[in-house]
Amino acid sequence: MAFLRNAWYVACWSEDVRPGQLFHRKLLDEDVVLFRKPDGAPAALYDRCPHRFIPLHLGSLKGEVIECCYHGLQFDCSGRCVKNPHGDGKIPAAAKVRSYPVADRHGILWIWMGEREADASRIPDYAMLDADSGFHLTRGHVHIEANYVLMGENLLDLSHVAYLHDGLIGSPQMVETLPAVREDNDVLHVDRHMPNVDVPAVFDMLFRQDGQPVDAWQNMRWVPPSCYLLDAGVKAPGGEREVMGWYYGIHLLTPETSRTTHYHFASARPPGSVSDPATDAELARLRRIAFAEQDKPIVDAQQRVVGDQDLWGMKPVLLAIDAGPVRMRRTIERLITQEKETT
């Protein structure tokens, strides 16, 4: 499946790109080098010198310019070659590299790899990740050896928590709830309300630590092509939402190649919830287990079976729980088709 190109993708966490350093990542099958200008503003270039195709991230950052490590051509943050140290110093017209719009927002470096003009107002809202939001945050990253749509289907069908994450972030009775799916301008909402279920360990730790049954919910928002926001929590059966019983799960997928994905995840607990370093560390540890040790092996294995085949061509059995994943897959296919027709 091709990628939707005219969209904002997560390149990395803001903190991944440190002053004075060059950060390489493959995104949408293109090698990209990210760095910061002296004023801290981020920049991104195609990671390939046009002379002999050396990755630019192997060079060095000199103020605002990258110097290629092989023969010293220098490129500014717009990709223009600004110095040729050889001969008369003339700069050939072809000595330039592609630059990408980037935005530093919500502690995330967003990148726009399409040909159309980047519109920063289309960056999905993750204000809870802002440093001044008052939310208590944990962050992580895991490399998935599967296509981002397969990983996204995992996130839009959370019935799997009853099996894959049983006891950790899910419990057996949760399987009885079907999702409510609604769509709003290509943004998908997949909500699950699960009354009177065993409390999973993560939520028991945050909520009452008494092991008593709870009402649980999972409300997932998907913004195409690959940004997810989960409002998940538990409350006393029949009771009201309490501040310590819930958090936002932030799930951000970026295709690396057609078969691999950068998966950035974070949790954001609301202001007023109990936060101490030990709880934060334990929450981060348990969530990493869920995604890196429980989801990842399954989705990686799924990719090995699917290979390059079209999923519809494989005639998957469809269940009621697939409503969200099917809508997502159809929406991505439509948006990619529309993009191709208009470019």
Report CA-CA distances (Å) from 157 to 15, 59, 319, 320: 31, 44, 11, 10
Residue ranges in 72-111 that form contacts with ligand FES under rule CB under 6 A: 72-73
CB of 53 to ligand FES, least distance (A): 7
CA distance 22 to 56: 8
CA distance 8 to 178: 31
The entry of ligand FES, Fe ion, none that residue 122 binds, CB within 5 to 8 Å by partner kind: none
The entry of ligand FES, Fe ion, none that residue 95 binds, CB within 5 to 8 Å by partner kind: none
Contacting residue, 61, 68, 129, 199, with ligand FES by CB under 6 A: 68
The residue assigned the tokens 């927002």 is: 105
CB of 60 to ligand FES, least distance (A): 12
The reply to whether 201 sits near ligand FES by the rule CB under 6 A is no
The entry of ligand FES, Fe ion, none that residue 85 binds, CB within 5 to 8 Å by partner kind: none
Indicate the residue among 28 and 206 with the shorter CB distance to Fe ion: 206
Please provide the DSSP assignment of 125-143 as one string.
Answer: P-GGGSTTS--EEEEEEEE
Report CA-CA distances (Å) from 254 to 128, 161, 167, 214, 250: 20, 23, 29, 34, 13
Contact range with ligand FES by CB under 6 A, out of 48-56, 179-187, 281-289, 295-303: 48-56
Binding residues for ligand FES, rule CB under 6 A, total: 9
CB of 277 to ligand FES, least distance (A): 46
Q: Would you say 274 and 135 are in contact if contact means Cβ atoms under 8 Å apart?
A: no
CB of 98 to ligand FES, least distance (A): 15
Interface residue list for Fe ion (CB under 5 A): 295
The reply to whether 52 sits near ligand FES by the rule CB under 6 A is yes
The residue assigned the tokens 């059966």 is: 237
CA quadruple 97, 103, 104, 108: dihedral sign = negative
The reply to whether 70 sits near ligand FES by the rule CB under 6 A is yes
Select from 206, 209, 334 the least CA-distant residue to 280.
Answer: 206
Contacting residue, 27, 32, 49, 97, with ligand FES by CB under 6 A: 49
The entry of ligand FES, Fe ion, none that residue 73 binds, CB within 5 to 8 Å by partner kind: ligand FES
CA quadruple 104, 229, 280, 160: dihedral sign = negative
Contact range with ligand FES by CB under 6 A, out of 69-77, 103-111, 231-239, 270-278: 69-77
CB of 293 to Fe ion, least distance (A): 11
Indicate the residue among 165 and 269 with the shorter CB distance to Fe ion: 165
The residue assigned the tokens 């005219």 is: 6
DSSP 8-state assignment for residue 329:
H
Report CA-CA distances (Å) from 92 to 60, 62, 86: 21, 21, 12
Indicate the residue among 74 and 261 with the shorter CB distance to ligand FES: 74
Contacting residue, 51, 98, 189, 288, with ligand FES by CB under 6 A: 51
The reply to whether 71 sits near ligand FES by the rule CB under 6 A is yes
Query: Which residues have C-beta within 8 Å of that of residue 43, sequence separation ≥ 6?
Result: 34, 35, 36, 37, 77, 99, 102
CB of 92 to ligand FES, least distance (A): 11
The entry of Fe ion, ligand FES, none that residue 295 binds, CB within 5 to 8 Å by partner kind: Fe ion
The reply to whether 33 sits near ligand FES by the rule CB under 6 A is no
Select from 138, 140, 202 the least CA-distant residue to 166.
Answer: 202
Indicate the residue among 55 and 107 with the shorter CB distance to ligand FES: 55
DSSP 8-state assignment for residue 11:
E
Could you list the residues that contact ligand FES (CB under 6 A)? 49, 51-52, 54, 68, 70-73
